[in-house]
Structure 1
Amino acid sequence: MAPGAAKAGSHPQPSGLSFAAASYKTLRGAETLTLALKATECLDGRGAFLHWWDPAARRLRMVAASGLAAESAETWADLSDEQDVAPVRAMRRGHYVWVAGDSLGMGAAGTAAVPLLGAAGPVGVLSVITAGPDEPEEAQRSFLRSVAGWATARLEDLPSTPPVRRSVAGSERTVRMGKLTSALAEAVTSREVVQAVAAHVLPPFGADGLIVWVFESGRQHVVDSAGYTQEFLSLLDGLAVTDYPVAADVFGTCAPRFIESAAEYCRRYPTLKPIPAASQKNAWAFLPMIASGNAIGMCLVSFTRQRSFTDEERTLLTALSGLVGQSLARARLYDVEHARAQELQRGLLPRTLPRLPAACAAARYLPAGRGEQVGGDWYDVIPLSADRVAMVIGDVMGHGTPEAATMGQLRTAVRTLADLDIPPAELLSRLNDLVSDLSEDSYATCLYAVFDPITRICSFSLAGHPPPVVVHPDGTVHRPDLTADPPLGAAEPPFETHQMLLPEESLLVLYTDGLVESATRFIDQGLARLQQVLAQHAVPTFTASDEDDDVRRLDDLCDTVVSALLPDHGRTNDDAALLIAHTRAIHAGDVASWILPEDPRAAKQAREHVRNQLAAWELDELAITTELLASELVGNVIRHAKGPIRLRLLRSRSLTCEVYDGSLSTPRIRHAAHTDEGGRGLQLVAALSKRWGARYHHDGKCIWTEQDIPHRTA
């Protein structure tokens, strides 16, 4: 029994190829083997077969089969043009067809069939029994068409000779080429396409050099390479196609060029005589990459030693270059979309994080390794009054451009609401209303925290988000055990407010679930790993010599955490964000506070306290302005609000003057007329300060102003 057939009940052997005894024409053994097995490997098939059209009898005769049991091959050995099966449909329609279903009882998903198109119409059909659950992808279909075209040219020239029956075992080269088709189907980027070619084309042909160019605006650009130095590549990258004659030949004719020695190279292209010596190669296959009927680039396969190319090798390399061209065209579309997505993501996330007196921070955003490379994770660091710092991290559920757009809206909303200096719970309540208004199926998780460097209290609220992790200077890692409120869009306010008393220095670590949770790891395992990595690597951050060194160490720590928790990020299905902030308390000597009486004497006392304190801080040049600001703010409390009244000064990168009262009324700048005796106090405050504002507490409000501290040279 021929190897291409199988005993009843046994599994067919896809590596064997059998020729039917009643063949209409004889096929060339090695080439037909490549054809059948390539089609089978390309489409992850259970078997492949080739029919030849008998126009006199109007029947399709099977001339070769691979991987089919004898009874299965016999079922379709002789088909009339009236049968409704995949080969006959392809013959009638003259183009590729895919028919779902297990037509031959082999446990297959369907049959893909491509007609062999001769000069006068279809002359046969190449079919593959597919095993995958879905129809073959476009790259696989394109390759099948390429093989069918090659087979047509070979078969139409064959004489009508008596049929033979023989079988040939699959070669290592054939198997590798099948693996190439699978690798190209999985390749997403242009670089991955080139890497697949380097891994699966060079070894079976004994090649050791590869360059893939694309043609753009009359020039050739290197996509990637293997076996060449960067110095050599720079000689050919960006050249006009007309300045590289071999590329001009390939581009102009869409036909390959095979050069078997350096002497032949120099004879064909005398202007390129330095190239063989510079490349240290002695044989070349210049292959056009065709997509949609156009040459989009050129693939060079080269060899250190001179060699000849057999007809089979030339045919196979040419067919493979067509498959590579289709894959590269698809990958370049992805590259363009990927670049746009990354630009969109960069535009929506902060380009740099502010360096503040109370906190320096570093962050990482990693899009999902598979998919659109853009998602809804975001983070931000926002300076507030009195050196307080707001930190936020969130995750819009889903992936893609719509989610990124929603993320951009939420980040903008958070910054706007943060400027109102409202508490975390109230901010999330307003953000929840925004998410609910966007659409019924929009949801997002969020952590919003405010750190006060004077009290060292970090207040935060959670909307479906994991709580922060705190790292102490001795390496102790603390993760509060808290239950988060539901996500934004599904929550019913109010949100709960949590508070933590941080040490004088600490690391506050915020993250999204994509960092700690995956399809292969539960969130508890990821959190345990995060704490372990922080305990091992975070301590050096506390010994930074200056602000620049602090940021560098935070960046290094972010890289360490990401590498440890997402070692194979390219295969992840969720984006991830990480924000690490190094918080510092303000020295007690930089803060001064006084309780003032609730009568007109308060303004005078405020001026005296300001004058004395600024003298102690050696800021006498700010005394007159600050006295006037404090006097106006205290006077407003006496006239328009109520006590208790408290004055506080804060020395940092700027000088902050705060006046607290027991009223929740909102201060407003009035537009006083020329004859009005009052109403200009807040206009004066706004004119004298760099910025000013109000924030509210449960028992009153605080009006604050900021002034720049003059820079002193040493």
Structure 2
Amino acid sequence: MTGPDTPPHEQPVRSEDLIGEASTARATVDGHGVVTQWNEGAEGLLGYRPEEIVGRSAAGLLADHANPRSVAETLRTLNPPDRFRGRVALLHRDGSRVTAGLLAHRVAASGDATEWLVVSPLPRPERPLADEELLKHCFAQGPCTMAVYDTDLRLRWANQDMERVLGLTQEEIRGLRVPEITPGPEAEETEERMLRVLETGEEQHIELFLRMPGRDRPVAWSTSLAPLRDGDGRVAAVMLSAHDRTPQHTTRQRLLLLNEASVRIGSTLDIDRTAQELADVAVPELADFVTLDLLPSVHGGSEPRPGPLSGHVMLRRVAARSVFAGTPEAVVEVGKVAAYPDFSPAAECLKAERGLLNRVTDPAVARWAAEAPDRAASIHRFGFHSTMAIPLRARGTTLGVATFSRHQRPEPFEEDDLLLAEEMTARAAVCIDNARRYTRERNTALALQRSLLPRTLPHSAAVEVASRYLPAGPQAGVGGDWFDVIPLSGARVALVVGDVVGHGVQASATMGRLRTAVRTLADVDLAPDELLTHLDDMVNHLSAEAESAQGPMGAGATSGDIGATCLYAVYDPVSRRCSIARAGHPPPAVVSPDGSVDLLDLPGGPPLGLGSLPFETVEVELAEGSLLALYTDGLIESRDQDVDRALDTLRSALAQPAESLEAACDVVISKMLPSRPEDDVALLLARTRALDAGHVATWDLPADPSVVAQARRDASAQLEAWGLGEAVFTTELVVSELITNAIRHAKAPIQLRLIHDRTLICEVSDGSGTAPHLRRARTFDEGGRGLLLVAQLTQSWGTRQTGTGKTIWAEQALSAADG
């Protein structure tokens, strides 16, 4: 506020005092054509005082006495609707006609109403400066960089701003062409555009990026080339006007770089590749040399230590990029760990938890370089002059540091460069932390999976086996593929391969549970279709448990549904028959001894977890030396080829001769998977063997207690023939007990079978489906000790169901002399 005593120089200045309110006739007219305001200039033009005209219709001011309604209608139907211009005959207060140029604007009034602001310039006295002189001063002193070139494209006039930009006066460059004033390809292009202006008379626009004298950074120019015409309309000269758009250009380039960083950084869940992507984006657009170093624990996927880091820091180089091929500036190689003292830029920014801008001449940098001769040599050799050290931080934890350096670009880093680098580094840090978390989970899943898969495959007289397991690439994550080889009674063997849907720790844990369940069910000697039915029930129970664990609101990270596929095969080397059932799993391939390859035509069966759908067992006879190939879908399914073509490739690979099963596995993997698999792959190859009649002895027995003694004698004679004399005593006891139990508690048919393999197997089959069990006999009981005696004398014993009843078996280990 001002008062009466306010000094004149502090009193507010009104615009009317400077520009002359009476120099313009101004009035406002509402939407109905009624005058609402009338100024001093309007009074001077038409002679009416404000109190005489305000509130009256503007139609009365027209010399032609227009209807007020027609005036209002004319205002509403103007085109364009917001402005009117033209010369109008008006009626002076004294009755004379006054022709004046009017300019009317539609403006907003109070509320939703509109009104018209009508203005008309009044004659003014001559000014000290003539119009021509004002134009000359306008050109010379205007804020825009301007120059005029004649039809020979030689400079005629240059304003003061052009002289400032060029560092040359008009007289020094008058008569020169553009390429002669600022040599270079940009000048040549500019002159070509000027020539086009002369030829076509059309204005041209060009964007230039030039390094000007006295400027340490290139300048972005937005240049317009316009024709200047003479009185006859011919092009007499070319006007060049340029505007410095460097701030806008720099901002646009930084936004483009930031957008590119958001697109390119984090394309994978690999820590090293993510770090390298940041370095690749920053060079050369922002820096000449970029390095990324992580805490060793972070690079291994471990959780970083919370809080700022201080003192001596150990960092692992994970990425580097230079404008020179091979990053010759790097003192630390990628993958190596280096020490950074507390006064180094890297350690200082980690301690401060913010980015730091440094000149190489700064004392801390100079000290660091002095104590590391190899770094000092690199600094001097390449001419480092400016650096930025920025901590990689994500979710409140420090992961490492990114260092940006310049040695080719002469301009040092500025605060805006630091802000840009911090934004890029922050985005990269989140991606690196995501990759770190994924790496930790993947390592956990891999460790869990390796612990659950068989470390070695058991030796078996039934088959020779070899296997391969390949985890998927980092992007897919560890899956739930598994395989197993399970020895069964009667020298038989079970071959299993399965695949749990999904990836990660959950899939690996589910795989472990299913593998354990299969081993447990196989120990009961269930048929393949029965085993898969029990396994299907278990998967349904696991899905229900997972869903209930998520809570009523479904707050779990994943769906509770668990799915899996499985193939279960049992091979008997005595009969050379293989019983197979599958639950939604790819069919196995069989390579015959003659080299032909076929896919077994098996009922597909539903995947595990659907429930209430049957599985079917198919029995096939395999020639001795046949090769059975079991695999998961990761071997045959990929984005690059369809399944049918992949199966053809698999047939071709299996048909190729190999020195061993291990070599055959390598051939299949190399043919099917030339690169890292997209999904986990499990491959199990089994070459069948056969036990001939010389290793198997069978006797059919009547249900008569008197045959027990003869059975003992027959078994003893067979053992002597096999050279197993030391096993006669034990075998006689086992045969006696098992046959006696069959005669007493079961029914015909009764059969005794001895199998000479790596162990000696004694089997007694009968027609009853009731399984025996051990029981504790009391002191004076005459029976009940038979199976206990068998369990004590043999390595293992058990029972399995058959199509006609059951088989009780007992297995004895053979001594080195017997074997």
1:354 deviates by 2.3
Residue of structure 1 equivalent to 2:5: none
Residue of structure 1 equivalent to 2:618: 498
SS in 1 for 2:626: strand
Residue of structure 1 equivalent to 2:609: 489
Say whether 1:196 aligns with 2:196: no
Residue of structure 1 equivalent to 2:668: 561
Residue of structure 2 equivalent to 1:324: 428
SS in 2 for 1:698: coil
Query: Any idea what the Cα deviations from partners look like across 1:686-712, whole Å, max 9, x if unmatched?
Result: 000110001111112211111111124
- Measure, in 2, the Cα distance between the counterparts of 1:233 and 1:611: 77
Residue of structure 1 equivalent to 2:265: 184
- Measure, in 2, the Cα distance between the counterparts of 1:689 and 1:586: 22
Out of 354, 358, 381, the position equivalent to 2:458 is 354
1:675 deviates by 0.7
Q: How does 1:135-284 map to 2 (within 5 A)?
A: 182-197=263-278, 199-201=280-282, 210=291, 212-214=293-295, 216=297, 219-223=314-318, 237=336, 241-242=340-341, 245=344, 247-254=346-353, 255=356, 259=360, 268-270=369-371
Query: Any idea what the Cα deviations from partners look like across 1:489-508, whole Å, max 9, x if unmatched?
Result: 33545422212211211221
SS in 2 for 1:508: strand
- Measure, in 2, the Cα distance between the counterparts of 1:390 and 1:516: 23
- Measure, in 2, the Cα distance between the counterparts of 1:585 and 1:258: 80
SS in 2 for 1:505: coil
Out of 771, 785, 789, the position equivalent to 1:684 is 789
**Does the aligned pair in 2 maintain the 1:449–1:458 contact within 8 Å?**
yes
Q: Which amino acid aligns with 1:183?
A: R
Query: Any idea what the Cα deviations from partners look like across 1:43-66, whole Å, max 9, x if unmatched?
Result: 5xxxxxxxxxxxxxxxxxxxxxxx
Q: How does 1:552-631 map to 2 (within 5 A)?
A: 553-569=660-676, 574-631=679-736
426-435 or 459-468: which moved more? 426-435
Out of 257, 280, 284, the position equivalent to 1:38 is 257
Change (3 A) 1:19 1:511: farther
SS in 1 for 2:295: strand
SS in 2 for 1:343: helix
Say whether 1:448 aligns with 2:603: no
**Does the aligned pair in 2 maintain the 1:260–1:307 contact within 8 Å?**
no
**Does the aligned pair in 1 maintain the 2:529–2:615 contact within 8 Å?**
yes
Query: Any idea what the Cα deviations from partners look like across 1:391-429, whole Å, max 9, x if unmatched?
Result: 122233444544444433322221111000111121122
Q: Which amino acid aligns with 1:469?
A: A
Out of 569, 585, 589, the position equivalent to 1:465 is 585
Change (3 A) 1:491 1:683: same
Change (3 A) 1:235 1:412: closer
**Does the aligned pair in 2 maintain the 1:505–1:583 contact within 8 Å?**
yes
- Measure, in 1, the Cα distance between the counterparts of 2:659 and 2:318: 33
Query: Any idea what the Cα deviations from partners look like across 1:126-174, whole Å, max 9, x if unmatched?
Result: xxxxxxxxxxxxxxxxxxxxxxxxxxxxxxxxxxxxxxxxxxxxxxxxx
Query: Any idea what the Cα deviations from partners look like across 1:81-127, whole Å, max 9, x if unmatched?
Result: xxxxxxxxxxxxxxxxxxxxxxxxxxxxxxxxxxxxxxxxxxxxxxx
1:196 deviates by 2.4
1:669 deviates by 1.2
Q: Which amino acid aligns with 1:655?
A: L
Q: Which amino acid aligns with 1:383?
A: P
SS in 2 for 1:185: coil
Q: Which amino acid aligns with 1:623?
A: V
- Measure, in 2, the Cα distance between the counterparts of 1:451 and 1:624: 31
**Does the aligned pair in 1 maintain the 2:540–2:611 contact within 8 Å?**
no
Change (3 A) 1:659 1:322: same
- Measure, in 1, the Cα distance between the counterparts of 2:316 and 2:414: 30
**Does the aligned pair in 1 maintain the 2:343–2:368 contact within 8 Å?**
no
411-420 or 363-372: which moved more? 363-372
- Measure, in 1, the Cα distance between the counterparts of 2:377 and 2:458: 54
Query: Any idea what the Cα deviations from partners look like across 1:421-460, whole Å, max 9, x if unmatched?
Result: 1111211222223233444754432211101111111111
- Measure, in 2, the Cα distance between the counterparts of 1:268 and 1:370: 39
Residue of structure 2 equivalent to 1:655: 760
**Does the aligned pair in 2 maintain the 1:395–1:512 contact within 8 Å?**
yes
**Does the aligned pair in 1 maintain the 2:476–2:679 contact within 8 Å?**
no
Say whether 1:705 aligns with 2:810: yes
SS in 1 for 2:266: helix
Residue of structure 2 equivalent to 1:10: none
Change (3 A) 1:710 1:34: same
- Measure, in 2, the Cα distance between the counterparts of 1:329 and 1:279: 35
Q: Which has the greater radius of gyration? A: 2
Residue of structure 2 equivalent to 1:431: 535
Residue of structure 2 equivalent to 1:56: none
**Does the aligned pair in 1 maintain the 2:497–2:631 contact within 8 Å?**
yes
Q: How does 1:335-354 map to 2 (within 5 A)?
A: 335-354=439-458
Change (3 A) 1:565 1:594: same
1:300 deviates by 5.3
Say whether 1:528 aligns with 2:648: yes
Query: Any idea what the Cα deviations from partners look like across 1:615-674, whole Å, max 9, x if unmatched?
Result: 222221111111111111111112222232222222222111111222222111121101
Change (3 A) 1:475 1:426: same
**Does the aligned pair in 2 maintain the 1:256–1:318 contact within 8 Å?**
no
Query: Any idea what the Cα deviations from partners look like across 1:363-409, whole Å, max 9, x if unmatched?
Result: 34445546561333332211111221111222334445444444333
Out of 478, 483, 501, the position equivalent to 1:374 is 478
Query: Any idea what the Cα deviations from partners look like across 1:543-572, whole Å, max 9, x if unmatched?
Result: xxxxxxx999544443443343344446xx
1:36 deviates by 3.1
Higher relative contact order at CA 8 Å, sep ≥6: structure 1 or structure 2?
A: 1
Change (3 A) 1:561 1:276: farther
What CA RMSD, in Å, does the superposition of the two structures yield over aligned residues?
4.3
- Measure, in 2, the Cα distance between the counterparts of 1:326 and 1:430: 45
Structure 1, unpaired ranges of 5+: 5-15, 44-181, 537-549
- Measure, in 1, the Cα distance between the counterparts of 2:280 and 2:617: 56
**Identity across aligned pairs (percent)?**
41
SS in 2 for 1:421: coil
1:220 deviates by 2.5
Q: Aligned pairs, how many? A: 545
Change (3 A) 1:205 1:693: same
**Does the aligned pair in 2 maintain the 1:282–1:306 contact within 8 Å?**
no
291-300 or 603-612: which moved more? 291-300
SS in 2 for 1:706: strand
- Measure, in 1, the Cα distance between the counterparts of 2:716 and 2:381: 81
**Does the aligned pair in 2 maintain the 1:256–1:288 contact within 8 Å?**
no
Change (3 A) 1:239 1:3: closer
**Does the aligned pair in 2 maintain the 1:245–1:269 contact within 8 Å?**
no
**Does the aligned pair in 2 maintain the 1:246–1:269 contact within 8 Å?**
no
584-593 or 498-507: which moved more? 584-593
Change (3 A) 1:235 1:336: closer
Structure 2, unpaired ranges of 5+: 1-204, 209-219, 225-242, 298-311, 545-560
Scaled by the length of structure 2, what TM-score is found? 0.58
